[in-house]
Structure formats: C-alpha cells, structure tokens
Amino acid sequence: MTTQDRAPESGTAGIPGKPTSASRTTLSHIMTASDTNLLGTVHGGVIMKLVDDVAGAVAGRHSGGPAVTASMDEMAFLEPVRVGDLVHVQAQCNWTGRSSMEVGVRVMAERWNESTPAVQVGSAYLVFAAVDEEGKPRPVPPVLPETEKDRRRYQEAQIRRTHRLARRRAIKELRMNRAAEGLED
Ligand SMILES: CC(C)(COP(=O)(O)OP(=O)(O)OC[C@H]1O[C@@H](n2cnc3c(N)ncnc32)[C@H](O)[C@@H]1OP(=O)(O)O)[C@@H](O)C(=O)NCCC(=O)NCCS
C-alpha cells in the first residue's frame, strides 16, 4: 500500500476526519404491489430511489449539511426483488475528495414474514458533492476507514475515481477534436 492509498487524517481545508461508522446508514422498506413493473417483479427505479435516498442520508451525515447526487454508477441488479420482500439498503461513505464523497450501497432482501437469511440483490456506487447555500461545492471532512473492509473499499473507490476522471477527460477531448474538425452531432 502506498501513502496515496491511505486516507488522510484531516482534509485540505483542515477539517478533522470522521470515521466511516459515524455516517453508516440502513433504510428498510417492504415491497408492495405499487412497486412492481409490468412483469410483476419490483421496478428497478424503485430500488434506485431507495439507493439514492440512503446514499443522500450518508452524504448529509458525513458532510454535516446538504449534499447533491453528482453521479450514480455501477448499479448492479443481481436478483429480482418481489412483492413481500423486506429490502434493506445499507450504505457507507467509502471515500472522500475535497468536496465529493463516494457512497457504496448494498441492497439486501428477505421475505418479510419468514426467518430465512437476507440475500444480496444489488449494489451501487454514487458520488455526492457537498454544497453550500448557493449550491456551490464545499469541503468535506476526510473519511477515516476503521476496518480492513473499509480500507479495501477506500482503495477500490480511488480506482473508480481515477477511471471516472479519465473517462470524462477522454470524452471531453474527443468532443473538442470533433468540433475542431467541423463535425456536427
Ligand atoms: C455536482 C455539482 C455540485 C458539481 O459542481 P461543479 O461546479 O461541477 O463543481 P466541481 O467540478 O468542483 O465538482 C465538485 C466535486 O464533485 C465531483 N464531481 C462533479 N461532477 C461529478 C460527476 N459527474 N461524477 C463524479 N464526481 C463529480 C468533482 O470531481 C469534485 O470533487 P472533489 O471536490 O472531491 O475533487 C453540480 O454539477 C450540481 O449541482 N449538479 C446537480 C446535482 C443535483 O441536482 N443532483 C440531483 C439530481 S435530481
């Protein structure tokens, strides 16, 4: 592990760090008939709203104020969710930058009236930006991973961050080059 992989103890703005556990949050919801798609299973958008809701709570708690969804990527649906499933959406702050936070979300489901173990049905990674009253990005406390799992998630989040930035840069460059060549969309 290099020093760059390690979470800093305090942020660029000198804000003291906050441990991962301080903002870890779970949202639970029983799926009903109004949550279904045309196939009769639960609509992916219903799950995505729960994911965004719980991730927003984590981002707000970690940053100590308002935060907006900047991006949502790698939303994976692993198993169908059914009416009568009790869904638990678990989220934690994996990584922090200057004003952004990556929140990792795991979606678990179990039958609401059976004592069978919950199974993982989905996962997602979202980036939130902490904002001030004018909607401008504001600095966040660095997250302090506490366990080996937290540290692995921090390192993986850094890899995703590098790829997000590289992808944005590459697409911006391609568009500029196409425009310079006079190509129309
Ligand atoms: C997200 C938002 C605040 C970013 O503002 P901006 O003026 O582009 O500011 P910056 O470029 O400094 O970005 C702020 C941070 O967010 C990150 N960020 C911005 N857009 C991002 C994206 N699409 N994906 C991942 N991270 C992103 C930046 O990397 C930066 O991180 P850092 O400060 O930790 O280095 C702004 O685009 C916004 O308000 N978007 C609308 C958000 C919203 O309304 N969400 C709800 C949708 S209904």
Tens of pLDDT, residue by residue over 27-81, are 999 999 999 999 999 999 999 999 999 999 999 999 999 999 999 988 999 999 9
In a domain, 1, yes or no: no
Q: Is the CB of 137 under 6 A from ligand 1?
A: yes
The beta-carbon contacts of 75-80 under 8 Å, at least 24 apart in sequence, are 75/48, 75/51, 75/122, 75/123, 75/124, 76/122, 76/123, 76/124, 77/44, 77/47, 77/121, 77/122, 78/120, 78/121, 78/122, 78/123, 79/109, 79/119, 79/120, 79/121, 79/122, 80/41, 80/42, 80/121
- 31 is in which domain, residue-wise? 7-180
pLDDT digits (tens, 9 = 90+) for 93-107: 999 999 999 999 999
Tell which one of 100, 103, 125, 138 to mutate to probe ligand 1, the residue whose CB is within 8 A of the most ligand atoms. 100
Judged by DSSP in three states, 154 sits in helix
Beta bridge partners of 26: 90
pLDDT higher at 3 or 63: 63
Q: How far is the CA of 116 from the centre of ligand 1 (A)?
A: 41
Are 11 and 98 in contact by the 8 Å Cβ rule? The answer is yes
Per-residue confidence (pLDDT) for residue 6, from 0 to 100: 67
Q: Is the CB of 164 under 6 A from ligand 1?
A: yes
In a domain, 13, yes or no: yes
Q: How far is the CA of 161 from the centre of ligand 1 (A)?
A: 13
Reply yes or no on whether the pLDDT at 7 is more than 90.
no
Per-residue confidence (pLDDT) for residue 74, from 0 to 100: 83
In a domain, 133, yes or no: yes
Per-residue confidence (pLDDT) for residue 185, from 0 to 100: 82
In a domain, 2, yes or no: no
- The residues near 93 (Cβ < 8 Å, ≥ 6 apart) are 20, 23, 24, 58, 59, 62, 101, 102, 103, 143
Of the candidates 60, 136, 44, 137, the residue with the CA atom closest to the CA atom of residue 93 = 60
In a domain, 172, yes or no: yes
Q: How far is the CA of 109 from the centre of ligand 1 (A)?
A: 31
Say what the pTM is. 0.93
In a domain, 185, yes or no: no
In a domain, 128, yes or no: yes
Domain harbouring 25, CATH code: 3.10.129.10
In a domain, 32, yes or no: yes
Reply yes or no on whether the pLDDT at 3 is more than 70.
no
Q: How far is the CA of 53 from the centre of ligand 1 (A)?
A: 17
Q: What is the 8-class DSSP label of residue 181?
A: T
Q: How many domains does the chain have?
A: 1
